[in-house]
Amino acid sequence: MTQKRTGDVPPMGWNSWNTFYDKYDAGLIMEMADTMVERGYLDCGYQYLVLDDCWLEMERDAQGKLVPSREKFPEGIGPVIDHVHRKGLKFGIYECCGVRTCAGYPGSFEHEMSDAATFASWGVDYLKYDNCHRPSSQGSELLYRRMSFALRSTGRDILLAACQWGTEEVGTWIRSTGAHTYRSTIDIRDRWDSISSITKERLDHLSDGGPGCFNDMDMLVVGMNGSGSNPETSAEGCTPDEYQTHFALWAMLNSPLMIGCDLRKADEGTRALLQNRDLIAINQDREGRTCYKLTCTCSPTAFTLVRPLSGGDYAVGIFNFGEKPCMAGLPFWDMGISAASAEGLHFHDCLTHQDMGVYKESFSAQIPGHGCRVYRVGAFTR
Ligand code: GAL
């Protein structure tokens, strides 16, 4: 198999922001790295461990260099990065294209070349690059281009994750900056209406994003269950069906899969969902195609996403954003299969991992409120 290059598939990993905000330190980060490996997350593809905002001292040093928080990292950040690398993981860090990060720490504006060189010298593999406190004269397109140039100049392979929140029609220009992913929507919160509104925004831009530069719908809230110390992200939590729908949507819609819960406390249900290999395989499909959307006659709040996969299969996700269960039908005609061809489709259930046999002309399933069904389907010719 050919080695994947950075940006070929959506990145997968863990990020500190959703649960920990500014409340983390070297010990916690190293424990999270251990957990990612010991509990099988790395084996499923979650390879990046990303430190979000609040890892810095409030001021640069006399040479203008970034200084990691002395309180959080009393021995410097080097031993943490080494630990992460020794575990077989990759290390990510956060900065911002403005003069300050969103939480008020020094930003990279007009320090791009030297900050990129610092990151490369530390062994950083991933940079989440935010969009706060930009001088009003500066558009974000130029500043993302600048950091991309700076990172590429280091000669180190560093994934650039632009955190641009979906403003300024980012999907139309971000690919040309050299960024590998871009936040296509606003910040997520740990509740259903946030998941559904991010998805609705995304459904209006289905054709943007793909290999080389994937759209990022924000970190996952799966497994947070209303916990978390981040006032900007924490909320009442979601039901198991809602978390499943969230993960299935992010997988189908080509978003990075960046876990945001405390993996040390994840229960079996959370782990099974985050490690669902059928859904991960859809997300990581090497063709990286986008979905098309079909409406469901059963309910105005239900819809089907269909995504061609490499090798000839299709991913089919049926989603019900309504409160009540509904019976959703998928006429194969809408997928391009003529009734006269007598062509059938073989269904594999990606949530239960069961083979469901062959269906002709159409398929229907009961979908719970805020729930989904996801299948991998393949042509079956007698
Ligand atoms: C926001 C960003 C969040 C988080 C936060 C840190 O702009 O969307 O994901 O990184 O900044 O302050």
Per-residue model confidence as pLDDT tens digits over 327-351:
999 999 999 998 777 789 999 999 9
* Residue from 176, 158, 188 nearest 258 by CA: 188
d(CA 354, CA 344): 18
**What is the 43 CA–ligand 1 centroid distance (Å)?**
28
- Give the per-residue pLDDT at 310: 95
pLDDT for residue 296: 83
Q: Which residues of 229-265 are buried (b: 16+ CB within 10 A; e: fewer)?
A: ebeebbbebbeebbbbbbbbbbbbbbbbbbbbbbbee
Query: Which three-class secondary structure state does DSSP give residue 246?
Result: helix
> Which of the four pLDDT bands, split at 50, 70 and 90, describes residue 18?
very high
pLDDT at 33 over 60: yes
Residue 20 reports pLDDT greater than 50: yes
pLDDT recorded at residue 3? 57
Single-letter code of the amino acid located at 111: H
Q: At residue 374, does pLDDT exceed 80?
A: yes
Counting beta carbons within 10 angstroms of the beta carbon of residue 360, is it exposed (0 to 12), middle (13 to 18) or buried (19 or more)? middle
> Residue 334's Cα: distance from chain center in Å?
29
Q: What is the pLDDT of residues 88-102, one digit of tens each?
A: 999 999 999 999 999
Q: Which residue has the tokens 């229907």?
A: 364
Which one-letter DSSP state was computed for residue 5?
Answer: P
Residues in the chain: 382
Contact 164, 131 (CB under 8 A): yes
For atom 1 of ligand 1, which residue has the closest CA? 102
Q: What is the pLDDT of residue 31?
A: 98
Which pLDDT score is estimated for 1? 47
Q: What percent of the chain has pLDDT over 90?
A: 90
| Confidence band, pLDDT 50/70/90 cuts, at residue 382 | low
Amino acid, single-letter form, for residue 195: I
Tokens of 150: 């700076």
Q: Is 52 in the pocket of ligand 1 (CB under 6 A)?
A: yes
Q: Choosing from 8, 22, 157, 187, which is the catalytic residue?
A: 187
Sign of CA dihedral 73, 78, 79, 85: positive
Provide the pLDDT for residue 43. 98
- The pLDDT of residue 297 is 76
Does 214 have pLDDT greater than 50? yes
Question: Is the pLDDT reported for residue 211 higher than 80?
Answer: yes
165: left (phi over 0), alpha (psi -120 to 50) or beta: left
State residue 381's pLDDT score: 66
103 lines ligand 1 (CB under 6 A): yes
Is the torsion defined by CA of 57, 60, 62, 65 positive or negative? positive
Q: What DSSP element (H or E) covers 197? A: helix 192-203
Collapsing DSSP to helix, strand or coil, 273 comes out as: helix
Confidence at 236, pLDDT banded by 50, 70, 90 = very high
What is the reported pLDDT for 222?
98
Active site residue 187: yes
Residues 124-144: tens digit of each pLDDT: 999 999 999 999 888 899 999
CB of 187 closer than 6 angstroms to any ligand 1 atom: yes
Which is nearest to 348 in space by CA: 289, 279, 285? 279
As a whole number of angstroms, the distance between CA 159 and CA 173 comes to 18
Mean pLDDT over each residue of the chain, to the nearest integer: 95
Please tell me the distance between residue 128's alpha carbon and the centre of ligand 1 in angstroms.
9
Neighbour tally for 100: CB within 10 Å: 15
Distance 297 CA to ligand 1 centre (A): 38
The whole-number average pLDDT for the span 32-46 is 98
pLDDT in tens, 165-208: 988 999 999 999 999 999 989 999 999 999 999 999 999 999 89
What percentage of the chain exceeds 70 in pLDDT?
A: 99
Report how far ligand 1's centroid is from the alpha carbon of 47 (Å).
21
Helix then strand count (H, E) for the chain reads 11, 16
